[in-house]
Amino acid sequence: MSAGTSASSESGSLDVAILVADAVGYSRAMSRDEAAALGAFGASRRLIDPLIRQHGGRIFATAGDSILAEFGCADGAVGCAVAIQRGIETALAAGALLMRFRIGVHLGPVHRVETDLLGATVNIAARLEGLSNTGGICISAAVRDALGSLDGLVLEPVGQRILKNIEAPIEVLRIRLGEPGREDFLEQRRLGVAVLPFTDPSGEVAGYLADGLADDLIAGLARFRTLAVMGRGATFHYRGAAVDPRRVAADLGVGFVVRGTCVAEGAALRIGIELVAAGTGPVLWAERFEGTASDLLATQDTIVERVVAALAGRIAAAGQADSIRRRPASPAAFDLVLQGIFHAHQTEPAATATALRLFDEALALEPDYPLALAWQALMQLRRWGWAPTGGGDLQPVLERARRAATLDPGDGWCQLVLGQVAMYAGDLDLAAVHHKRATALNPFDAHILALRSPLAVYLGKPEEGVLLIERALRLDPFPPPWYASNHGLALYAARRYAEAAAAYAAAAMPQTGVLAGLAASLARLGDAAGARQAAARLMAREPHFRVDVFMTMRPFREAADRRHLREGLRLAGLPG
């Protein structure tokens, strides 16, 4: 179809191109400083509105931070979308205070009600906006097919996506503009798999056991290079919910979902598991396993092997043995570790103490159990980080983490823990080696990417840190609160203070690092009152807080980076 023309729909009405643009971080910015947020949004509109008119468009609706516009042809809508994103980036680079936007464009028939437009075409454009990157554009295949010329634009296939409240899948493409992008790992590999938390219809199975089944399955599947396995953080949000696999697929961008049940019948356990083709919902494979809790060691490995074999036969049988974690000989040690992991994910001091005790008990039974060693080291690192006057010597913890990774070099979690401990022990080169190994073992685990972000910052690469944490945020639509701290740190180190303040302010339960970073970011923005308020909240929480002690636990390689954070904290009025 040539540029400037419109397609006719089956009903005989003319199709139009709908552009939906949404400001990123608007609600967070409004909650922090309404006047500043409104000013930035207004400045953005003064750039966007004339571009819509220049490209032959008409704004037919606005909803808070969203702009909806119609165009007579796909070329006008896409040309306008590109001009908006490039114009905003140019203005931001020149120091203007604007907001970044996500944009979606779709082509199809609409229903006109006076000056408003309604119908599926508008809804699809809005869903496409939600799939785009910050500063990016997503379009449908209908738009691509109607474009007269690409004019040098790079189109990146995203694949078929099931959009909320849209019955048929939509083929989605992304226009690459050099924005900080999501590297679409799930399109680079042949299979994307999400493992949901196991459910307990009987109500008799301990929560740690059901969680442990799913955790271990994730770890086993992640070892296959042809599988894109989502990490625990991306799927455990669905715990306890009767969720449609197609919703999980749409949320996480995967093609397959594994779900299971764990039912207690007296002393016996009955485990049911299904592999679902998420796009259409059919069950590709289902099986039941029965036994006792002491049989779980063998049962877990059998489940991994059967699920892998069911994935279209794409994994050679010879490779299946590589999926099996090193197991303890003692079922009791295995059970203690599953209990410990359950408590470790709760992060409160009391839960951490319980987890550490359980890992100690497991290691008393099995001294060379790699997973127990890794989790024990991580809990000790967490306790070190909470020490108000400095954490003490990390070398014993480092040796424990090193031992875990040596005993099971193919376990991504053991590699990650060694990287984390090495980072805070000040050996950034060793940390980088093991963080990269953890990522290579499972590049789809959002937690691994989120934990790599501060390492990039400490190595003097803050923009890389921003990309890593934002990639993690896109892989995990429901991130835990600690992501905000790593996001804020990377943005602060990159001198993007307004975005850093917004990231820190988004933390639901702000801890010491979040409040410190928020105070420093606001101080750098010249918001003295906001910085004092954040500092006061921090001191009320940690009366013994001192800047110099806080900085000893931040292993910056470059003196200038260390000085940059220290000066921001002191500018906020924090002591020491």
Structure confidence at residue 113 (pLDDT):
84
Residues 421 and 561 in one domain: yes
Mean pLDDT in residue range 265-279: 74
Higher-pLDDT residue of 218, 361? 361
DSSP labels, 374-404: HHHHHHHHHHHHH-TT-----HHHHHHHHHH
The token pair at 373 is 């060693």
Residues 132 and 176 in one domain: yes
Number of structural domains the chain divides into: 3
Cα dihedral 174, 175, 181, 187 sign? positive
Structural domain including 315 reads 189-323
Residue 8 maps to a domain:
no
The CA–CA distances, whole Å, from 213 to 102, 208, 216, 491 equal 38, 9, 5, 37
Q: Lowest mean pLDDT of 33-37, 181-185, 363-367, 389-393, name the range.
A: 181-185
Residues 32 and 172 in one domain: yes
Structure confidence at residue 318 (pLDDT):
27
Higher-pLDDT residue of 451, 30? 451
What are the φ/ψ torsions at residue 192 (nearest 5 degrees)?
Answer: -115, 130
Q: Lowest mean pLDDT of 58-72, 497-511, 518-532, name the range.
A: 497-511
Residues 210 and 176 in one domain: no
Structure confidence at residue 308 (pLDDT):
54
Residues 463 and 422 in one domain: yes
Residues 131 and 269 in one domain: no
Residue 507 maps to a domain:
yes
Q: What is the CATH number of the domain that holds 305?
A: 3.40.50.10610
Residues 233 and 301 in one domain: yes
Residues 549 and 400 in one domain: yes
- Residue 1 pLDDT class (50, 70, 90 cuts): very low
DSSP labels, 497-530: HHHHHHHHHT-SS--HHHHHHHHHHHHHTT-HHH
Mean pLDDT in residue range 92-111: 89
Residue 494 maps to a domain:
yes
Structure confidence at residue 7 (pLDDT):
42
- Residue 564 pLDDT class (50, 70, 90 cuts): very high
Q: What is the CATH number of the domain that holds 377?
A: 1.25.40.10
Structure confidence at residue 227 (pLDDT):
60
Residues 347 and 445 in one domain: yes
pLDDT at 482 over 60: yes
- Residue 567 pLDDT class (50, 70, 90 cuts): very high
Structure confidence at residue 391 (pLDDT):
57
CA distance 182 to 171: 18
- 56's enclosing H/E stretch is none
Tokens 């119908």 belong to 119
pLDDT at 571 over 80: yes
Structure confidence at residue 562 (pLDDT):
94
- Tens of pLDDT along 286-319? 777 777 766 665 666 666 656 655 553 433 332 3
- Tens of pLDDT along 204-255? 656 677 777 787 777 767 655 446 677 777 777 677 666 777 777 767 767 7
Burial degree of 569 (CB within 10 A; 0-12, 13-18, 19+)? buried
Q: Which of 181, 206, 225 is the last residue of a domain?
A: 181
Residue 2 maps to a domain:
no
Q: Which of 181, 200, 218 is the last residue of a domain?
A: 181
Share of the chain above pLDDT 70, in %: 80
Q: What is the CATH number of the domain that holds 50?
A: 3.30.70.1230
Mean pLDDT in residue range 432-442: 83
Q: What is the mean pLDDT of the chain?
A: 80
Torsion of CA 63, 102, 492, 444, to 10 degrees: 120
Q: What is the pTM of this model?
A: 0.53
Residue 6 maps to a domain:
no
Residues 199 and 288 in one domain: yes
Structure confidence at residue 92 (pLDDT):
83
pLDDT at 476 over 60: yes
Share of the chain above pLDDT 90, in %: 36
Burial degree of 543 (CB within 10 A; 0-12, 13-18, 19+)? exposed
Mean pLDDT in residue range 186-195: 57
Higher-pLDDT residue of 107, 470? 107
For residue 282, count other CB atoms closer than 10 A to its CB: 10
Structure confidence at residue 493 (pLDDT):
95
Residue 9 maps to a domain:
no
pLDDT at 321 over 60: no
Residue 245 maps to a domain:
yes
Structure confidence at residue 11 (pLDDT):
38
- Tens of pLDDT along 373-414? 999 999 999 888 877 555 578 899 999 999 999 988 878 889
Mean pLDDT in residue range 54-66: 89
Structure confidence at residue 165 (pLDDT):
67
Residue 147 maps to a domain:
yes
- Residue 155 pLDDT class (50, 70, 90 cuts): confident
Higher-pLDDT residue of 389, 435? 435
Mean pLDDT in residue range 348-357: 89
Structure confidence at residue 114 (pLDDT):
83
- Residue 140 pLDDT class (50, 70, 90 cuts): very high
Contact 286, 272 (CB under 8 A): yes
Structure confidence at residue 184 (pLDDT):
41
Q: Which of 291, 323, 355 is the last residue of a domain?
A: 323
Residues 278 and 356 in one domain: no
Residues 215 and 89 in one domain: no
